[in-house]
Amino acid sequence: MVRAAALASGDGARLQAILDAVYFNEIPNFSLEAVICPQRGCYAMTRSLNAGVPAYVVDPELFPNITSHSIAVANKLKDMDIELVILAGYDLPLGVVPYQFKNRVIGTYPALYPAFNEEEGDPVALTLETGLKVAGATAYFSDGDGRVGAVILQRSMEVQPEDTVETLSARLMEECEWPLLSEAVALFCAGRLSVRGRRVEIRPAEGE
């Protein structure tokens, strides 16, 4: 079993995809050992505890800077023998975590990377502002700076004329980010992912 932990903030909407996958036993060889949050009482913790998954707080206000906070997060992960780190709406800098868990930190980005990678602002809002007809999401391994690194999977969907930031964000999460995150984790747990530079190779499943 691959021992995994999720880093989550706020309402934990992205975390729900992983909790659902655990509940329905959709990812073979996967064990979600913990959810780590930066603040006590956030709804991400409530989701985790309601699902029977231990939740822990590593409060950034207890540390002098983001580097020392990220070291504490990494140490917590290592203390639990975590093999895979899942970014489930975590809103703090990752600091040293991607260095200490190289090619073992998976997250999603609400656009078809590298779209809007160099621009400030919400990728979903930028999608609408630029009049794009196709939106999408990207599942990726985090790079050393905590940003989108090697791309694992992508999925696209059409932008509807009546879409707002709220409706498009919700559809992107439900139709693209949730399934991509679960699929990327499943591929990792099946030992089918390998990274060559910035490219991810996906090996065929046995028997294919």
- CA 65 – CA 84 distance, rounded (Å): 25
Give the mean model confidence (pLDDT) for residues 181-187: 97
| DSSP code per residue over 8-32 | E-TT-TTHHHHHHHHHTT-STTEEE
Domains in the chain and their CATH numbers?
A: 2-202 (3.40.50.170)
Going by C-alpha positions, the residue among 112, 105, 89 that lies closest to residue 19 is 89
Q: Look at the pTM and tell me if it is higher than 0.85.
A: yes
Give the mean model confidence (pLDDT) for residues 171-189: 97
Digit-coded pLDDT (tens) for 67-92? 999 999 999 999 999 999 999 999 89
Per-residue pLDDT for 208 more than 90? no
Which amino acid type is present at position 115?
A
Digit-coded pLDDT (tens) for 153-171? 999 999 999 999 999 999 9
Measured in whole angstroms, the distance separating CA 148 from the mean position of its chain's CA atoms is 10
- CA 151 – CA 153 distance, rounded (Å): 6
H helices of 41-177, where?
43-50, 66-79, 97-100, 123-129, 165-172
At residue 207, the pLDDT reads 66
What average pLDDT is seen over the chain? 95
Going by C-alpha positions, the residue among 105, 183, 181, 203 that lies closest to residue 147 is 105
- CA 98 – CA 75 distance, rounded (Å): 13
- CA 203 – CA 109 distance, rounded (Å): 23
